[in-house]
Structure 1
């Protein structure tokens, strides 16, 4: 028990692999910053978030060949530091995500805990640092990755080199599918007016989802529109059904409690 990762809620249940630094737990907040481009206008939040997962073609493709990955951080400050490490811009789109199963009303249809590899305790951190420095990885190091991947992790945590004390996460597709969005913030910091707008997709302390917000999109300049076609999408109907089922179960639970 206890806070072992900065983005993890204090005093959550924690399960550890018998031999490896692999943990299963829940109730996290994750942040991702990307440089905002005008082509993002008119794209709903659901689609923008889906774009955070892609086949690795950058420096970490050596670690995850052919895998879809997504990069996140423990805080907005770390996420900003990471994006500014490579792109000197203040026009930023910041995603705030959480593990859907920790919501009172989960919508993703997956109640598994997050399965996290602590890369700082098994040599993965060193591999990431080597790749950042442009070095090659050995056959033995590739075997290490294969052994870890055989444990079916959701994500890897490692120390940020862009912000002291910060933590980064590399999500694999399996783990990414467990994430839901709490909010997306657009800040046009390069403009003199510093326009900004936030679209909230979940609220309150129990992460109650506002599914209709996933249909929202940003318009110039930092305004919000609605993609009504999203309400007929398979994703929206699936998530709404799961939310309704969770709400019914919760209502039945409290009804039973009142009868006692």
Structure 2
């Protein structure tokens, strides 16, 4: 694996966590995550810049149960503490109270304690998510070094118009509780999004059976802008994969094949 240059904002090191989420047990999930990350990162020579966690990493996808926290709450506080401890951006989704319902909020927590977020736009109809969760109303772009990130959550992956690259991002991120029964669709759409948007794609999914009896087998992976896998986690195994992203490689590819210049103009409502 090529060596990253320290303090080079055109290169990023990302840790992707594949986790067996303990149902409705935040403290146990925190402990398991800290153990996984500490062991893996201590074996890695270069500090990571971003740590990506699955959708609802602290509770599981329990949208119909009273697990949403007020803002700020203990799950967000854990993310803040972990970002400081590992000196990396911590990112993953949390169910957060909002009015009579809640939002499925993707947090982007920096080591200095500053926070950005994106609320999941597309709610999973088969899981009745819309009955309990308010849909997000806007798209978000986060920055880290010279990279621009488009955050997405699970079911968002099926809606390419919302994810269309308007020349405003370099990396698409999707955190999920994507079931094993539809795993082929997950793998295929991730590659397609990377190719059609000429971007890196980072995907983080859970493993294990949740409290509803739904099985998940992983699929955590990173793809380059041609849809080629950079790293892929083994199925059904809790682990942390590390991938290195290079902005100059992406820029060179886009310059040599500038398909984005021929994209259709459109507006989302």
Band of TM-score, shorter chain: under 0.3
Q: Which structure exhibits the higher relative contact order, with contacts defined as CA atoms closer than 8 Å and separated by 6 or more residues?
A: 1
TM-score (norm. length: structure 1): 0.24
Structure exhibiting the larger radius of gyration computed from Cα positions: 1
